[in-house]
Structure 1
Amino acid sequence: MDNQTRTELEAAAFRRLVQHLRERSDVQNIDLMNLAGFCRNCLSRWYQEAAEARGLAMTKDEAREIIYGMPYEEWRARHQTEAGADKLAAFERNRPRDH
């Protein structure tokens, strides 16, 4: 497989992942972090870092809107629920140390 095709396939898979996360707003970020070690905010940070590595200025809010499909505060108001003590404890035990 050539590099251009690989890049196109990776981009398509990434777009599908983002779409899936937008459709599954019932899945909370803390659940993603506890199960997979990353969440929508991680994806937006990685997106922002990739943009900056290419010399493109991008704010955290701009990157989050790309991943969430709306401003982050709007997504939180619509979809985020309060995390229970058990989820918070699991997050503290398992979270990557760069969060």
Structure 2
Amino acid sequence: MDDQTRIEIEAAAFRRLRKHLMEERPDVQNIDLMTLGGFCRNCLSRWYMEAANEKGIEMGKDEAREIYYGMPFSEWKAKHQTEAGPDKQAAFETAFKENVTDKE
């Protein structure tokens, strides 16, 4: 497989993951993704921002989140985020420290 085809396939897979998480499974909470998978939608938007920055495109966290979520993050949270109990919050803190610390 040539590099351009590989890049196009990887981009298509990313778009499909985004669609799945944003349109088909907005009920899956970021806290659960982070606890189980070590990443969440915010991580994906951060990785998008980092890739843009590496290409010389200035992009901040809020802009990247709006691009990834398709709306301002605060709006998405109001529509889809549920309250997390103390057990979920503790598990998230552990997962965040293991996977994200010093990156947000």
TM exceeds 0.5? yes
Q: Identify the TM-score tier after normalising by the shorter chain.
A: over 0.9
Deviates more, 1:1-10 or 1:57-66: 57-66
RMSD of aligned C-alpha atoms? 1.2
Query: Could you say which residue in structure 2 is the equivalent of 1:77?
Result: 78
Q: Residue type matched to 2:10 in 1?
A: E
Show CA shifts across 1:32-53 (max 9, x none): 0011000010011110010000
Tell me by how many angstroms 1:89 deviates.
1.5
Letter in 2 for 1:9: I
Q: How many Å separate the matches in 1 of 2:66 and 2:52? A: 14
Deviation at 1:97, TM superposition (A): 4.8
Q: CA separation in 2, counterparts of 1:59 and 1:11?
A: 21
Q: CA deviation at 1:92?
A: 2.3
Aligned counterparts, 1:14-25, within 5 A: 14-23=14-23, 24-25=25-26
Cα distance in 2 between the residues matched to 1:66 and 1:13: 17
SS in 2 for 1:91: helix
Q: How many residues align?
A: 99
Unaligned runs of 5+ in 2: none
State the TM-score, normalized to the length of structure 1: 0.93
Aligned to 1:52: 53
Structure 1 residue 65, shift from structure 2 partner: 1.1
Structure 2 distance, partners of 1:76, 1:62, is: 15
Q: What secondary structure, in the 3-state scheme, does the structure 2 residue paired with 1:8 have?
A: helix
CA shift, 1:84, in A, is: 0.8
The runs of at least 4 aligned residues of structure 1 exceeding 4 Å deviation read none
How far is the alpha carbon of 1:94 from its aligned partner? 2.7
Note the C-alpha offset of 1:91.
1.4
Give unpaired runs (5+ residues) of structure 1: none
